[in-house]
């Protein structure tokens, strides 16, 4: 596969590369970043969202599709190759496509690692080998003996996640989630049951730069979810209503961390990076996110990795405190990706970024 992609890339006019992505998730971030670095852009979007991308003026070319799965069609792939397009993957690539074997268009980053997101077992193995602290895992609902969070495979954005503190609690809430149409029975069967780690969640967006050969912290965020609305209702009313909050993502807040906690995050990022080289050579390229919770002892627990840009970086446009400190200018994940591509083309290193 890699050889085929490199062959396609070698046929590209590198003075005329365009940046392309699917119109959702972090497309505004990616496309704005591409334009800031002087690239022309292509946005593949659905009719309902076309106006968003047109209104913001970040897409030089809008390509309308019925569904994102059409990215795998012969016509669209051929169009993208003819335009010398490099695709920037994001959460919708995982949520709506998942497998990239038949995608014969150069992708920025390591497509093998991106597929790890669709398998929690593989993620777990990656984290285990990196020797980082993770939440305890329960292999069956019958084992639940403490507060747990129930999650599903892939980039589901927290939809249908729920908390359970006993096997009975699990069954009752799972049934209710299915009835509400938030999840399917199949998803419940394949669900991952994790110990609920009590603490403050922090999402670290790193960028590994082959051009600079360094790990860069670009931005931090935390999430704004359906469950966050519950705190606005007094406890008495909550009990009366028997609320069943879920973790459906609505947005993100930017964040800065107590400075003395940064070193833990860099150590974890380096270990995750080292293992990524062993499990999917050449390892992490470009953006990835380490999703963590700091416990009462301010120790970092990792509950997930995303091997691509995450939507939390949208809150870091035009810069985060960290990207500003690093670059001394406006820098955000979409722009950071485009900058890496631009410099790699100038230095003749582009093949190191494309998988
Ligand atoms: P959307 O097009 O908004 O449905 O997003 C595509 C996929 O990315 C879905 O699976 C979403 O759940 C996920 N997603 C979108 N925005 C975010 C976000 N801010 N944080 C986490 N996941 C997200
Ligand atoms: P995720 O989709 O895995 O990024 O998680 C969505 C939401 O669930 C976020 O609010 C996380 O903070 C929360 N979450 C996920 N896993 C855990 C865990 N093991 N303990 C506590 N909160 C979690």
pLDDT value for 99 = 82
| Residue pLDDT, tens place only, 191-226 | 999 999 999 999 999 999 999 999 999 999 999 999
CA of 249 to the centre of ligand 1 (A): 7
Residue 97 has a pLDDT of 87
pLDDT attached to residue 155 = 60
210 and 321 inside one domain: yes
Q: What is the mean pLDDT of residues 334-354?
A: 97
CATH code, 219:
3.30.470.20
Q: Which atom of ligand 1 is nearest to the CA of 251?
A: 19
Query: Which residue's CA is the closest to the ligand 2 atom numbered 19?
Result: 196
pLDDT at 44 over 90: yes
Average pLDDT over residues 238-248: 87
Place of tokens 């007094």: 234
Domain that holds residue 145: 137-195
Specify if 167 maps to a domain: yes
pLDDT level of residue 116 (50, 70, 90 thresholds)? confident
Poorest-pLDDT segment among 32-46, 238-252, 287-301, 302-316: 238-252
- Residue 293, pLDDT above cutoff 80: yes
What would the two tokens of residue 193 be? 């049951």
293 lines ligand 2 (CB under 6 A): yes
- With respect to residue 300, please indicate whether it lies within any of the assigned structural domains: yes
Residues 144 and 162 in one domain: yes
Percent of the chain beyond pLDDT 70?
Answer: 100
Mean pLDDT score, 325-339: 98
Say if residue 144 is in the same domain as residue 255.
no
Residue 231 lies in a domain: yes
Residue 170 lies in a domain: yes
Please report whether residue 352 resides in a domain.
Answer: no
Report, as an integer, the average pLDDT of 184-196.
94
Answer whether residue 85 is part of any domain: yes
Cα–Cα distance between 282 and 235 in angstroms, integer? 51
Same domain? For 254 and 303 the reply is yes
- Pair 159, 100 in one domain: no
Report residue 159's pLDDT band, with 50, 70 and 90 as the boundaries: confident
Look at residue 197 in the predicted model and tell me its pLDDT. 97
Please report, for the domain that includes residue 83, its CATH number: 3.40.50.20
Ligand 2 site-directed mutation target among 91, 95, 116, 149, most atoms within 8 Å of CB: 149
43 shares its domain with 90: yes
Choose which residue among 24, 43, 50, 91 to substitute to test ligand 1 binding: the one with the highest number of ligand atoms within 8 A of its C-beta: 91
How confident is residue 340, by pLDDT bands cut at 50, 70 and 90? very high
User: At 145, which CATH number?
Assistant: 3.30.1490.20
Predicted confidence at residue 15, as pLDDT, reads 97
205 and 330 share one domain: yes
CA 181 – ligand 1 centroid, Å: 18
Sign of CA dihedral 319, 320, 323, 326: positive
- Least distant ligand from the CA of 304: 2
Determine whether the shortest distance from the Cβ of 29 to ligand 1 is under 6 A. no
Regarding whether 126 and 48 lie in a shared domain, the answer is no
Answer yes or no: do 219 and 125 share one domain: yes
- CA of 303 relative to ligand 2 center, distance in Å: 7
Whether 115 is covered by a domain: the verdict is no
Locate tokens 């150590």: which residue?
A: 267
Regarding whether 83 and 12 lie in a shared domain, the answer is: yes
Q: Which of 133, 136, 193, 196 to mutate to test the pocket of ligand 2 (most atoms within 8 A of CB)?
A: 196
Q: Identify which ligand lies nearest to the alpha carbon of 46.
A: 1
Instruction: Give me ligand 1 centre to Cα 312, in Å.
Output: 10
Check whether residue 219 and residue 323 sit in a common domain. yes
> How many Cα neighbours within 13 Å face the side chain of 330?
9
Q: Which residues are CB-neighbours of 235 under 8 A, at least 6 positions away?
A: none
Predicted pLDDT at 19 = 98
Torsion on CA atoms 160, 228, 221, 275, rounded to nearest 10: -40
Average pLDDT, the chain: 95
Cα–ligand 1 centroid distance for 320 (angstroms): 21
Question: SS3 letters for the chain?
Answer: CHHHHHHHHHCCCHHHCEEEEECCCCHHHHHHHHHHCCCEEEEEEEHHHHHHHHHHCCCCEEEEECCHHHHHCHHHHHHHHHCCEEECCCHHHHHHCCCCCCCCCCEEECHHHHHHHHCHHHHHHHHHHCCCCCCCEECCHHHCCCCEEEECCCCCCCCCCEEECCHHHHHHHHHHHHHCCCCCHHHHHCCEEEECCCCEEEEEEEEEECCCCEEEEEEEEEEEEHHHHHHHCCHHHHHHHCCCCCCCEEEEEECCCCHHHHHHHHHHHHHHHHHHHHHCCCCCCEEEEEEEEECCCCCEEEEEEECCCCHHHHHHCCCCHHHHHHHCCCCCHHHHHHHHHHHHHHHCCHHHCEC
Single residue among 195, 215, 230 that ends a domain in this structure: 195
pLDDT of residue 119: 82
Do 93 and 163 fall into the same domain?
Answer: no
In a domain, 114, yes or no: no
Q: Which ligand 1 atom is at minimum distance from the Cα of 91?
A: 8
Residues 286 and 301: beta-carbon distance below 8 Å: no
Q: For residue 320, what pLDDT is reported?
A: 98
The atom of ligand 1 lying closest to the CA of 26 is 16
pLDDT at 156 over 80: no
pLDDT given for residue 153 in this prediction:
78
Based on the structure, what is the number of domains in the chain?
A: 3
Compute and round to an integer the Cα radius of gyration of the chain. 21
Query: Probe ligand 1: pick from 23, 65, 95, 251, max atoms within 8 Å of CB?
Result: 95
């Amino acid at each position: 596969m890699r050889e085929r992609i490199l062959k396609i890339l070698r046929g590209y006019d590198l003075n005329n590369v365009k940046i392309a992505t699917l119109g959702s998730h972090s497309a505004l971030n990616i496309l704005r970043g591409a334009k800031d670095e002087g690239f022309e852009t292509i946005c593949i979007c659905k009719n309902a969202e076309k106006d968003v991308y047109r209104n913001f003026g970040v897409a030089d070319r809008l390509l309308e599709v019925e569904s994102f799965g059409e990215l795998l069609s012969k016509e669209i792939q051929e169009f993208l190759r003819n335009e010398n397009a490099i695709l920037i993957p994001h959460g919708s690539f995982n949520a709506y496509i998942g497998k990239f074997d038949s995608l014969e268009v150069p992708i920025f980053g390591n497509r093998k690692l991106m597929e790890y997101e669709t398998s929690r077992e593989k993620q777990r193995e990656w984290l285990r080998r990196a020797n980082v602290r993770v939440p305890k895992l329960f292999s069956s609902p019958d084992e639940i003996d403490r507060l747990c969070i129930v999650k599903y495979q892939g980039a589901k954005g927290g939809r249908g996640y729920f908390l359970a503190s006993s096997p009975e609690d699990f069954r009752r809430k799972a049934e209710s989630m299915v009835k509400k149409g938030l999840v399917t029975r199949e998803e419940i069967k394949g669900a991952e049951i994790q110990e609920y780690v009590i603490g403050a969640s922090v999402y670290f967006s790193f960028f590994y730069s082959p051009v600079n050969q360094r790990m860069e912290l670009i931005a931090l965020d935390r999430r704004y979810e359906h469950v966050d609305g519950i705190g606005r209702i007094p406890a008495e009313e909550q009990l009366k209503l028997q609320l069943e909050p879920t973790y459906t993502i609505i947005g993100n807040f930017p964040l800065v961390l107590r400075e003395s906690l940064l070193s833990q995050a860099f150590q974890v990022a380096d270990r995750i990076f080292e293992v990524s080289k062993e499990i999917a050579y050449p390892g992490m390229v470009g953006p990835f996110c380490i999703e963590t919770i700091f416990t009462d002892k301010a120790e970092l627990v990792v509950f997930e990795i995303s091997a691509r840009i995450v939507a939390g970086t949208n809150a870091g446009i035009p810069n985060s405190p960290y990207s500003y400190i690093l670059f001394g200018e406006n820098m955000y994940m979409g722009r950071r990706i485009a900058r890496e591509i631009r410099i790699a083309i100038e230095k003749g290193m582009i093949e190191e970024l494309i998988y």
